[in-house]
Structure 1
C-alpha cells in the first residue's frame, strides 16, 4: 500500500471518528479536545471539521455543523424548523415522567405483572402511568393472571426494545449491579425469580383496581 493511500485511509478514519463524536455530544466540543482524543493535530482536525461542514451544507443534510463560542456542534437545519418543532411537540416525542419511567422499569423486569403488583411496588396507584405507557406503545396487555379476579397482565412491547436499544429482554442491565448492599441484592433475586410475588414496599399497598 502506497504512503499516499495510507494517509488517505487515515484521514477518512479521522473524519469518521470526529463525526461520531459530534453525534453523541450534548454540548459544543472544542478543537483542542478533539485533537486530544483523536491524537491528530489541531490543523488537521480543523480541516476535517471544515470539510464536514461543507459536505453537510452542499448535500442539504438535515443537520449542519456550526462553530460556536465553546467549540463545534451539530444543529438541525433551520429550513426544517417548523416540521421538527411539530414533531417534538407531538405526544410520541414527549419525555416520560419519573412516575412513568419507574412503572416502565417495574414492568420490564417483573413482567408479566398486574396493575396491583405495580402499585404495591411503587407505593402509589400506577393506573395513570400504565395508561401513558400503553398510549406510547411501550407496554401492552399480555393476558390474564390466574389469581383471584383474573387481573390483566402487562408486559413490554417490541417498541420498548427498539427504544431501549435492546435485541431481547435478556439485554436488560442486571439490577443487582445497582444494589447498595447484599440484603437488597437478595431481595431483588427473590423478587425476579418469583413472578407471582411482589417486591416488599414500606408503604401500605394500594387497593387493587384490576
Structure 2
C-alpha cells in the first residue's frame, strides 16, 4: 500500500469515529502491515497547518481525535444549535479536582479534604461518566475508591493524566482574578446536561 493511501485511510477513520482513534483499532482495520498511527497523524497535522485547514488532530485519552479548529467554534455551535458545554458546579469541580489528583481515593478521604458531605456530588459525577469506581480500599469497611475516566480526559482535552496542570500552577490561578463559580468546560462531543442539584443518595 502506498503511504498516501494509508494516510487517507487514517484520515477517513479519524473522521468516522466519534471516539479517539487508537493504534490498536488501526491494527484491526488493516489486514496486514498496519501503519504507525502517530507518524500518520504528524503528516496530517503538517498538511492541515500548511493548507490552513479548519481542522486539527488532538491526542486525547490515549488516542487521536479529529476536531474543528477552535476559531470556528461559533459557527459550528450555530449549526448544531447547542452550546457544547459541560457545566459543572463549583462543588462538583472541586470534588473532581481532588479525585483527579489524589486517585484512587475514597469518599471519606474526599470529605475530609472538602469538609462537607460529597455523596450527592459523587453520584452526579458518576452519572456524567467523569469518574468511575476503581475498586475497594483494604481498610475497615473496605470503602469504594474513585478515579477519573477517559471521558474526563476527553472533556478537558487531556491526552493523559500527567498533562494536567501542576498544583503550583493552580495555586497561581487561585491567587489571580479567577472565579470558580463561572467555570465551564468545552466538551468535544454530545452536549452534556446542565449541572443537576447534588442529590443526597449516593454511593458509599
Instruction: Quickly name the TM-score band, shorter chain normalised.
Output: 0.3 to 0.5
TM-score normalised to the size of structure 2?
Answer: 0.47
- Greater relative CO (CA pairs within 8 A, separation 6+): 2
- Pick the structure with more helix per residue: 1
Which of these two proteins has the greater Rg computed from alpha carbons? 1
